[in-house]
Amino acid sequence: MNPGKIGRVAWREFASTVLTKGFIIGALLTPVLILVMIAIVTALTAFKSEPTISGEVAIVDPTGVIAERLTETLSPEALAEAARARAERIAETLKDVSPGASSFAGSIGPDAESFPTLRVATLPADTDQDAEKQRVREEANVEDGRLALLIVDEAALMPQPEGEARQDIQLFVRPKLKDDVIDTIRNAAVRVIRDERFRVAGYDRSVVGRLQDVNTGSARELTEDGGERASIGDFRNFIAYGFMMLMLIPTFVGAQYLLTNAIEEKSSRVVEILLSAVSPMELMTGKVLGQMCVGLVIMVIYGGMSMYALISFSLGDAITPLALVSMFVFFALAYFTFASFMAAVGSSVNELREAQSLIGPVMVPLMLPYGLGIFIADDPNSTFATIASFVPPISPFMMMLRVASTEPPPPWQVGLAVVISAVTCYVAVWCAAKVFRVGLLMYGKPPNFRTLIKWVRMA
Amino acid sequence: MSDDAIHIQGLGKRFGDKVAVEDLDLVVPRGSLHGLIGPNGAGKTTTIRMVMSILFPDAGRLSVLGKKSAVESKDRIGYLPEERGVYRKMKVGAFLSHMAGLKGVTSGVSQKIDDWLDRVELGDVKKKRCDELSKGMQQKIQFISSVIHEPELLILDEPFSGLDPVNMRLLRDLILDQHQKGVTVIFSTHVMIQAEQLCDHIVMIESGQKVLDNTLQEIRDRYDPRSVVFEPDAGIGPSAAEQHEGVESVRQVSPGVFEAALHDDADRHTIMANILEQTRARRVELRRPSLEDVFIEIVQERTGGDVDSDELRAQLQDRAAGPQEATP
């Protein structure tokens, strides 16, 4: 085999796939577009929140205490303080798991939000409610006009009666008032009513709060090396599934391109001209390697983006070097197995339609990991997972999932999976090379499986 | 190892039950222009594919340019297969450059492509996509791809199929040009007249076996003219020749033109004189047997006359025959 010729065939295969509009739009521009979209949406959100909503919240309060407390709670200072406390709580929860995510959560605290400027107007208890509602309607488009009318039930400070529930407040708002403003008003009212109920019942609100607060911290994993770390639980399964998808998608895409390109070379009758310059084995090797590079490009783009995201959330340590190395090894083994089969099928038919009946046996094992992966990621050391990770040709995908999971399998199992996959790969490439060599020059009736087996024996 | 361009001994190839090539011996000396002729399905393409190491023989030995197989000398061989095409979406220049690269040409590729495109009168297509070219233009591009690396041996399988007469002449000149430069040329065709016009050596294959392997001159010397073509005045039919001694049969070859087949021992000149005497013939001539006639005669000899010669002739003249099905 001549490496120079294989390189040329591989380069043509790579260039004719990657340097096409379809690929650039599909594989390269899509992630870029997603990032651009996220940036635009973020920018738009920031832009949109620019004009602060301001106006009056009228309150009918027969209890006489809620309106006053609400005036304090809805003041801009109090709203900002509440937001800050909320952000701190989230950051505290995330701190154990991911310092990056925690600081991110901290940063989206009060500064990132804009608060409505709300003016509370207390109305007499016997006011004409219909007239006040009418004012909300009339001032719907008036700047700094009335935004909402809050009517508090006279029994609002009493505990809810057993049986039928009592409506403690009624909130009427102008059309199209933003949800977050409505939520701000309603949540403030609920908080105030709750605090007042505790007071009336004779409890100290702060004591009740502390009684309710049970601090658990996050679960810590005790690792085999004697250390411990924050558990990221199901998230790690998600990462393991991600690793498998990073192998599966390029395998799928590469195999698909090989099929269509081999069919194109055959149907355009260019193949025998190529065979005058390269041997069938050189041609197949070059094509398979070329598409492998396409797969690697896809893998690097999507894998790189995912890694960047994980690292920026300080979840980088979820990616172990073993998992990374395994990904490349298992990708190579899985890819060569499936790609050589697809190249063989592509060489034996005259058009894509004829290939459909032959590629079924390849497509099924390529679809299986999608479904099985969920169960295996969930319990990576179950008997089912262990067996599935030794079954060719899905062994590389299944073992990858286990390697990247919370409980990596023992090294001998990984080694065994590599051996099984390597043997499968060798057999697949050997058979495919024979079918490829015969199939390339066959025109006419499309072959069935029996014919392909005959070719393997014949060549 | 032989110094001939191609040396084949006892070559055989079967596809299942079908014998494609059987016990074929062939020597092609360097610098010669060999024609490989025979009807469709005779085994020409299979032989060529074995020479090119695209197929491997079941039996026999062969050497190509002094090597045991073409794999070792692929860069010194130019091959234009019968089943040929181009990468439709590739630009002409890129396609030729790719092919030249695969053939080991590393320097001056662009200049070579320009020169060749000019020679085949396609100087302005370098930047066009291959699928924008007509079929005839694409065939010229394919021819360039087979010679761009300046091969020592050029193998052309049915090079003229699908070409119009103008391009056929252009291609014939290009082939002769290569031959004059010292390149060994082998081309196969089922249209025997093409071989007759071009080759100095003919190899005839029928049902996988070689039935003739001679220079054109030897063939002409061996197969004497044994028919007389005559065109009698209107109203006079084949009877003008039928009654003469030595005439085996008379058939009409075109309206008003007849051909009298003679016995081996017939006196050609007397028969011609008699025809002239009895009719006011516009034309009377001795006809040299064409390669087609020679082929039919050989086949009939081999089969003991079981094959209908008209059917065989029709088969040979079936120029529009499509690609062979399911036979590599």
Residues in Cβ contact with B130 at an 8 Å cutoff, skipping those fewer than 6 apart: B86, B87, B88, B89, B90, B91, B92, B95, B138, B141
Counting residues of chain B whose pLDDT is more than 70, the rounded percentage is: 93
pLDDT of residue B1: 58
Residue B114 has pLDDT above 90, yes or no: yes
Taking residue B168's Cβ as centre, other Cβ atoms within 10 Å add up to: 16
- DSSP state, residue B319: T
Q: How many whole angstroms separate alpha carbon A100 and alpha carbon A103?
A: 5
Statement to judge: residues B103 and B246 lie in one domain = no
Residue B295 lies in a domain: no
Q: What ipTM is given for this predicted complex?
A: 0.77
* Cβ density class A175-208: b for 16+ within 10 Å, e for less: eebeeebeebbeebbeebbebbbeeeeeeeeeee
* Inter-helix orientation angle A321-348/A411-439, to 10°: 20
What phi and psi, each to the nearest 5 degrees, are found at residue B44? -65, -50
Statement to judge: residues B138 and B231 lie in one domain = no
Is residue A260 less than 8 Å (CB to CB) from chain B? no
Residue numbers in B near A5 (CB within 8 A): 102
Residue B305 lies in a domain: no
Statement to judge: residues B115 and B16 lie in one domain = yes
DSSP B162-229: T--HHHHHHHHHHHHHHHHTT-EEEEEES-HHHHHHH-SEEEEEETTEEEEEEEHHHHHHHS---EEE
Statement to judge: residues B58 and B151 lie in one domain = yes
Mutate which of A269, A273, A448, A454 to test chain B, going by most B C-beta atoms within 10 A? A273
User: Which range marks the domain in which residue B198 is found?
Assistant: 6-213
* Tokens of residue A67, six digits: 């309106």
Give me the residue spans of the domains in chain A. Answer: 54-208, 231-458
pLDDT of residue B113: 93
Q: How many whole angstroms separate alpha carbon A411 and alpha carbon A423?
A: 18
Q: How many whole angstroms separate alpha carbon A414 and alpha carbon A75?
A: 62
Statement to judge: residues B118 and B255 lie in one domain = no
Residue B307 lies in a domain: no
Total count of domains within chain B: 2
Residue B219 lies in a domain: no
Residue B320 has pLDDT above 50, yes or no: no
What phi and psi, each to the nearest 5 degrees, are found at residue A26? -70, -50
Statement to judge: residues B109 and B149 lie in one domain = yes
pLDDT of residue A51: 63
Residue numbers in A near B103 (CB within 8 A): 277
Is residue A168 less than 8 Å (CB to CB) from chain B? no
Is residue A155 less than 8 Å (CB to CB) from chain B? no
Statement to judge: residues B48 and B104 lie in one domain = yes
Determine, for residues A278 and B53 on separate chains, whether the beta-carbon distance falls below 8 Å. no
Q: How many whole angstroms separate alpha carbon B318 and alpha carbon B322?
A: 10
Residue B323 lies in a domain: no
Mutate which of B83, B90, B154 to test chain A, going by most A C-beta atoms within 10 A? B83
What phi and psi, each to the nearest 5 degrees, are found at residue A146? -80, 130
Determine, for residues B145 and A5 on separate chains, whether the beta-carbon distance falls below 8 Å. no
pLDDT confidence bin for B156, thresholds 50/70/90: very high
- Using CA atoms, how far residue A287 sits from A12, A436, B124, in Å, is 8, 12, 31
Statement to judge: residues B37 and B117 lie in one domain = yes
Mark which of B175, B190, B213 sits at the end of a domain: B213
pLDDT confidence bin for B252, thresholds 50/70/90: confident
Rounded to an integer, the average pLDDT of B130-157 is 91
The CA distance from B51 to the nearest CA of chain A, in Å, is 11
Residues in Cβ contact with A108 at an 8 Å cutoff, skipping those fewer than 6 apart: A87
Taking residue A459's Cβ as centre, other Cβ atoms within 10 Å add up to: 16
Determine, for residues A445 and B326 on separate chains, whether the beta-carbon distance falls below 8 Å. yes
User: Secondary structure of chain A in the HEC alphabet?
Assistant: CCHHHHHHHHHHHHHHHHCCHHHHHHHHHHHHHHHHHHHHHHHHHHHHCCCCCEEEEEEECCCCCHHHHHHHHCCHHHHHHHHHHHHHHHHHHHHCCCHHHHHHHHHCCCCCCCCCEEEEEEECCCCCHHHHHHHHHHCCCCCCCEEEEEEECCCCCCCCCCCCCCCCEEEEECCCCCHHHHHHHHHHHHHHHHHHHHHHHCCCHHHHHHHHCCCCCCCEEECCCCCEEECCCHHHHHHHHHHHHHHHHHHHHHHHHHHHHHHHHHHCCCHHHHHCCCCHHHHHHHHHHHHHHHHHHHHHHHHHHHHHHHHHCCCHHHCCHHHHHHHHHHHHHHHHHHHHHHHHHHHHCCCHHHHHHHHHHHHHHHHHHHHHHHHHHHCCCCHHHHHHCCCCCCHHHHHHHHHCCCCCCCHHHHHHHHHHHHHHHHHHHHHHHHHHHHHCCCCCCCCCHHHHHHHHHHC
Mark which of B187, B213, B239 sits at the end of a domain: B213
- Please give the mean pLDDT across all residues of chain B: 83
Residue B236 lies in a domain: yes
Rounded to an integer, the average pLDDT of B290-300 is 79
Mutate which of A21, A270, A442 to test chain B, going by most B C-beta atoms within 10 A? A270
Q: By CA distance, what is B53's nearest residue in A?
A: A279
Nearest-CA neighbor of B98 among B53, B132, B149?
A: B149
CATH of the domain at B136: 3.40.50.300
B291 by Cβ neighbours in 10 Å (0-12 / 13-18 / 19+) ranks as buried
**pLDDT digits over B186-237, tens only?**
989 887 788 888 888 989 888 888 888 888 888 877 777 778 888 887 666 6
Statement to judge: residues B138 and B267 lie in one domain = no
Q: How many whole angstroms separate alpha carbon A400 and alpha carbon A339?
A: 19
Statement to judge: residues B125 and B187 lie in one domain = yes
Taking residue A37's Cβ as centre, other Cβ atoms within 10 Å add up to: 10
Q: By CA distance, what is B103's nearest residue in A?
A: A277
pLDDT of residue A314: 67
Q: How many whole angstroms separate alpha carbon A205 and alpha carbon B137?
A: 92
Determine, for residues B87 and A16 on separate chains, whether the beta-carbon distance falls below 8 Å. yes
Residue B310 lies in a domain: no
Q: Are B122 and B141 in contact (CB under 8 A)?
A: yes
Q: How many whole angstroms separate alpha carbon A200 and alpha carbon A197?
A: 5
Residue B319 lies in a domain: no
Statement to judge: residues B109 and B52 lie in one domain = yes
Mark which of B213, B233, B267 sits at the end of a domain: B213
pLDDT values of chain A reduced to their tens digit, one per residue, 459 residues: 788 889 999 999 999 888 888 888 877 777 778 778 877 887 776 665 556 788 899 999 998 888 888 888 888 888 888 888 887 877 776 665 555 555 555 555 444 456 788 888 998 888 888 999 999 898 888 888 899 999 999 888 888 888 888 899 999 998 888 888 898 899 999 989 998 999 888 888 888 888 888 877 777 777 777 777 666 666 777 788 888 888 888 888 888 888 888 888 888 888 888 888 888 888 888 999 999 999 998 888 888 888 887 777 767 777 778 888 888 899 999 999 999 888 888 888 888 888 887 888 778 888 888 888 888 877 788 888 888 889 888 899 989 888 888 777 888 988 999 999 999 988 888 888 888 878 877 776 777 777 777 777 765
The CA distance from B86 to the nearest CA of chain A, in Å, is 5
Rounded to an integer, the average pLDDT of B115-123 is 90
User: What kind and span of H or E run contains B48?
Assistant: helix B44-51
pLDDT confidence bin for B317, thresholds 50/70/90: low
For residue B50, the SS3 value is: helix
Statement to judge: residues B250 and B178 lie in one domain = no
pLDDT of residue A95: 63
Of the listed ranges A210-219, A252-261, B12-21, B158-167, the one predicted with least confidence: A210-219
Using CA atoms of B211, B213, B215, B219 in order, give the dihedral in degrees to the nearest 10. Answer: -20
Determine, for residues A441 and B49 on separate chains, whether the beta-carbon distance falls below 8 Å. yes
**pLDDT digits over B63-97, tens only?**
999 888 777 888 899 999 888 888 888 899 999 99
Nearest-CA neighbor of A62 among A152, A149, A148?
A: A152
